[in-house]
């Protein structure tokens, strides 16, 4: 057995209270094995303890963590290993690939310098030999023009390329175990597919084992041999992947499988974990929207270019959005899909004039939003709001939730007085499923899903008619994602909101959208009602996007 975790407990010291040290138990005595040349997946929601378990193996935990139990790697207990022993193992025998490559790569060193470091540190290679081997590694993980990329900095690469560099760095010393912590969560479906296939191919080539951490059973079903399901720091179920998908035994495992949107079905609401465990039945088909609802927003030839310096005096134009046309009807959702770099986010930000457009027009009640200025534009802005992908970055960490909700109302003169505005904030925080006590807290006191609910409540303070949702659920685990998607549908039914829903996840887009706009390289390549597009995509590019969606274990 390559790795054996036996009765592992991890607690975090939280400081003293009443003279006693308070501890938060995050992992509660779990056990599982990782055999040689196999992939074991750790699955669970945020807060289940799966990342804490994985980081315990190499003691990459904060100083207030306390570990007990046994972690046997090739028979050696890593919990008893001295710091010097662990440093020799890290990167050489056990390597890690993390979720966010941009925060894992050093922004001030080139890709080549960062790849050479483990080769020189662990394998004692000379600088020239390490540079040559690093180039070979970049080629092995599918980076184009590896010689040129060696001199690039992390910010000059796309997210998918950054993740490939992280994989190359992890494989540099040919480790026996690769720990992959949510390595595909932030990537679009086609890049996710490429990275999964790459990791599977390299695992077989290098005869290594992999501990793959994810909240998405669709992804896990395609890459793993064994699955360990965790919740609240405990193992709920462990079995070969075929058994998990064919006949899950634990109610929580069944719920995880049930709450992800599907390309095959179109329920009125998504099941959430608690619904499934309580035995509630799934709701039937969603109700059809009025195809003759009035058009609230119409884009014609919307364009956006960026200019970059070229040479001493020259400029080079990059056309990010090349002439987008669409209509958005009242109470409807327009889904916008495409790979990273397709222009979908730029199109959404240009609609809101967070990027100033290069050309075209956007008509709202007969007025061109792109030509409005001063007080007219200020009044219009309250009617079109945006929810961003990252709720951690979009809320002011110095404001309480109450201040966050009151500020836009004060700016736009909504409410007769402070008491009126506070009553409205209280009603809205309740409407998005949060307790009233949340108003007195700060953003860091909430989970990602709760923060996204707060961001939606902030938009609603201004009585908007249109919401632009830019990857608003892509950073959330499947059960929280289901809750937020159900909330968005409820708000749309109750308030008649229209959504522009930007996403790379076609299963999510199918659940929430009425019409879909597919973008590639700044162009709209296909546009159709959602059921028609999913059933009969006309373009090869759309078929490629659909084919890349993880579908779980296939016998």
User: What DSSP assignment string belongs to 1-68?
Assistant: --EEEEEEEEEEEEEEETTEEEEEEEEEEEEEEE-TT-EEEEE--TTSSHHHHHHHHTT-S-TTEEEE
Neighbours of 132 (CB within 10 A): 13
Beta-strand runs (E) in 113-197: 177-181
**The two three-digit tokens of residue 337, written as one number:** 């899909």
CA angle centred on 252, ends 473 and 193, rounded to 5°: 45
Asked if residues 319 and 327 have their Cβ atoms less than 8 Å apart, the reply is no
110: helix, strand or coil: coil
* pLDDT for the residue numbered 483: 84
Closest among 50, 56, 61 to 73, alpha carbons compared: 56
Run of H or E including 308: strand 295-310
Mean pLDDT per block of 10 residues along the chain (555 residues) reads: 94 83 90 94 87 90 92 93 89 84 85 92 90 90 86 82 85 89 75 80 87 85 91 93 91 84 78 77 66 91 88 84 93 91 89 91 90 86 86 86 93 90 93 89 83 89 92 79 87 91 88 93 92 91 86 66
* Half-sphere CA count of 225, side-chain side, radius 13 A: 14
Distance of CA 349 to the CA centre of its chain: 19
Gap between the Cα atoms of 149 and 138, Å rounded = 8
Domain boundaries, the chain: 3-277, 295-547
Closest among 171, 45, 46, 32 to 96, alpha carbons compared: 171
β-sheet bridge partners, residue 135 = none
Q: Write out the CATH class of domain 295-547.
A: alpha beta
Burial per residue of 490-503, b for 16 or more beta-carbon CB atoms within 10 angstroms, e otherwise: ebbeeeebbbbbbb
Asked if residues 469 and 501 have their Cβ atoms less than 8 Å apart, the reply is yes
Closest among 384, 437, 452, 381 to 413, alpha carbons compared: 381
Gap between the Cα atoms of 542 and 526, Å rounded = 8
Phi and psi (nearest 5°) for 53?
A: -60, -50
Phi and psi (nearest 5°) for 61?
A: -100, 160
* pLDDT for the residue numbered 433: 83
* pLDDT for the residue numbered 417: 92
Asked if residues 553 and 224 have their Cβ atoms less than 8 Å apart, the reply is no
Q: Considering the domain 3-277 in this protein, what is its CATH number?
A: 3.40.50.300
Burial per residue of 422-433, b for 16 or more beta-carbon CB atoms within 10 angstroms, e otherwise: bebbeebbebbb
Please tell me if the domain spanning 3-277 has the same topology as the one spanning 295-547: yes
* pLDDT for the residue numbered 400: 94
* pLDDT for the residue numbered 144: 81
* pLDDT for the residue numbered 326: 94
């Amino acid at each position: 057995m390559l790795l054996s975790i036996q009765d592992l407990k991890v607690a975090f010291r939280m400081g003293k209270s009443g003279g006693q040290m308070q501890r938060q138990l995050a992992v509660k005595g779990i056990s599982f094995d990782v055999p040689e040349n196999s992939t074991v997946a750790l699955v669970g929601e945020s807060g289940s303890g799966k990342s804490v378990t994985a980081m315990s193996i190499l003691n990459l935990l904060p100083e207030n963590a306390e570990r007990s139990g046994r972690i046997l790697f090739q028979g050696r207990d890593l919990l008893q290993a001295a710091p010097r022993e662990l440093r020799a193992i890290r990167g050489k025998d056990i390597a890690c690939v993390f979720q966010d490559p941009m925060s894992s790569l050093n922004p001030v060193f080139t890709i080549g310098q960062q790849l050479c470091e483990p080769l020189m540190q662990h394998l004692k290679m000379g600088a020239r030999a390490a540079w040559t081997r690093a180039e070979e590694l970049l080629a092995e993980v599918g980076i184009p023009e590896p010689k040129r990329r060696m001199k690039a900095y992390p910010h000059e690469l796309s997210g998918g390329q950054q993740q490939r560099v992280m994989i190359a760095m992890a494989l540099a010393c040919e480790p026996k175990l690769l720990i992959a912590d949510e390595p595909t969560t932030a990537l679009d479906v086609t890049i996710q597919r490429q990275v999964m296939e790459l990791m599977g191919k390299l695992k077989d080539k290098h005869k290594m084992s992999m501990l793959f951490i994810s909240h998405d059973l669709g992804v896990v079903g395609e890459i793993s041999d064994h699955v360990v399901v965790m919740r609240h720091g405990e193992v709920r179920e462990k079995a070969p992947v075929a058994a998990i998908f064919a006949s899950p035994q634990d109610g929580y495992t069944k719920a995880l499988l049930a709450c992800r949107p599907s390309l095959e079905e179109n329920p009125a609401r998504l099941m959430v974990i608690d619904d499934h465990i309580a035995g509630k039945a799934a709701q039937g088909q969603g109700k059809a929207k009025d195809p003759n609802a009035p058009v609230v927003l119409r884009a014609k030839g919307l364009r956006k270019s960026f200019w970059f310096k070229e040479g001493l005096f020259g400029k080079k134009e990059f056309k990010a959005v090349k002439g987008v046309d669409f209509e958005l009807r009242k109470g409807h959702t327009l889904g916008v899909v495409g790979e990273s770099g397709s222009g979908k986010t730029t199109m959404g930000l240009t609609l809101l004039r967070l990027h100033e457009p290069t050309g075209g027009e956007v008509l709202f009640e007969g007025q061109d939003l792109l030509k409005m200025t001063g007080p007219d534009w200020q009044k219009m802005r309250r009617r079109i709001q945006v929810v961003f992908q990252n709720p951690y970055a979009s809320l002011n960490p110095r404001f309480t939730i109450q201040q966050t909700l009151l500020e836009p109302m004060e700016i736009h003169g909504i409410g007769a007085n402070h008491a009126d505005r506070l009553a409205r904030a209280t009603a809205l925080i309740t409407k998005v499923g949060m307790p009233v006590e949340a108003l007195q807290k700060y953003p860091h006191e909430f989970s990602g899903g709760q923060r996204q609910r707060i961001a939606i409540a902030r938009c609603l303070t201004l009585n908007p008619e249109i919401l632009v949702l830019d990857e608003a659920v892509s950073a959330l685990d499947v059960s929280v994602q289901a809750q937020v998607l159900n909330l968005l549908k409820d708000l749309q039914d109750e308030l008649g909101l229209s959504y522009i829903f930007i996403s790379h996840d076609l299963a999510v887009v199918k659940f929430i959208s009425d019409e879909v706009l597919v973008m590639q390289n700044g162009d709209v390549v296909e546009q159709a009602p959602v059921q028609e597009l999913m059933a009969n995509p006309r373009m090869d590019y759309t078929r490629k996007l659909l084919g890349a969606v993880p579908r779980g274990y296939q016998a």
